[in-house]
Amino acid sequence: MIKTSDVLILIAVAVAFMTTAFLWFQGADTKQEALFTATWIPSILTFAIYFKIITRRN
């Protein structure tokens, strides 16, 4: 069953991905910012997995 928290996490990942793509294609001046925001995607997914594991244990 898909929970509201799962949907919100996927929305956060999608927003981070779109922000990364937008910054990357803006030009040479924003490439560093794009790489920085690209690191948010695995971080968000890692926290999501962590919280899923914690809620299964309880």
Residue the block writes with tokens 């990364």:
20
- How high is the pLDDT of residue 15? 96
For the stretch 5-53, pLDDT in tens is 899 999 999 999 999 999 999 988 999 999 999 999 999 999 999 999 9
Give 23-56 as a DSSP string: HHHH-GGGHHHHHHHHTHHHHHHHHHHHHHHHHH
